[in-house]
Chains A and B, each alone.
Chain A
Amino acid sequence: EAGVTQSPTHLIKTRGQQVTLRCSPISGHTSVYWYQQALGLGLQFLLWYDEGEERNRGNFPPRFSGRQFPNYSSELNVNALELEDSALYLCASSLAVRDSTDTQYFGPGTRLTVL
């Protein structure tokens, strides 16, 4: 069974540009989570989507946004890129949220570099 996939693997952008990252969850998983892992800051929760709806949002500015499609895949959009947005962006998926102990399975991440 395929795991969580993310694209692209690497991305280089310049300040002020916009970027879209993509995530496909494990088949049968309806919840998708986005995390940012910046150097020295650990993993920070960004967004959680379930059944096409945004369920929770971390402490990030509105220029970080996303959506979940009917097939449960998801996009993360970042507008007006800043240097500090350089990070590894990780997507995770889990089964339908009925129990907060549902395990999250992570993709390999997208490495974003902002110059």
Chain B
Amino acid sequence: SQQGEEDPQALSIQEGENATMNCSYKTSINNLQWYRQNSGRGLVHLILIRSNEREKHSGRLRVTLDTSKKSSSLLITASRAADTASYFCAAGSRSYQLTFGKGTKLSVIP
């Protein structure tokens, strides 16, 4: 079953704007990971946040995690056309498998 659920399903913004995507999960996690997928190809790992962390930054990416609400958000600042892709959150559990949501399709308009 899908544990991560992203919101919104689709997002369209202008280049230079910030994009925020949210993710909710259902059970206990060890970590929450975000991936990007371009045009139905392989996934690229963006960032991992551990369950005992609240916020993490990597370049233009900022991830927050609220374990009390079982939710996470991914913020992409100063978006570029090259950021156009689908973004997935994945809940990492002690069983070492990742449980993915259905993703947010981001379109950045030049």
Contact = CB atoms under 8 A, between A and B. Distances in A.
Interface of A: 4, 31, 33, 35, 37, 40-45, 48, 55-56, 58-59, 88, 90, 92, 97, 100-109, 111
Nearest to B31: A101
A6 to B, nearest CB: 8
Contact of A42 (B30, B44, B93, B100): B100
A58 B92 CA distance: 14
B31 A104 contact: no
B97 A33 contact: yes
B100 A43 contact: yes
Q: Interface majority SS on A: helix, strand, loop or mixed?
A: strand
Contacts of B97: 33, 45, 48, 56, 58
A100 B31 contact: yes
B42 A101 contact: no
A105 B96 contact: no
19 contacts: A42-B2, A43-B100, A45-B98, A45-B99, A45-B100, A48-B96, A48-B97, A56-B97, A100-B31, A100-B92, A100-B94, A100-B95, A101-B30, A102-B96, A104-B33, A105-B45, A106-B45, A109-B41, A109-B42
Taking residues whose C-beta sits less than 8 angstroms from the other chain, chain B's interface range is 20 to 34
A111 to B, nearest CB: 8
Nearest to B93: A100
Given A48-B96, A108-B41, A109-B41, A103 B101 contact: no
A33 to B, nearest CB: 7
B70 interface: no
Interface string B28-46: 0011010100001111110
Contact of A43 (B1, B88, B92, B95): B88
Interface in B51-110: 88, 90, 92-103
Contacts of A45: 97-100
Contacts of B88: 42-43
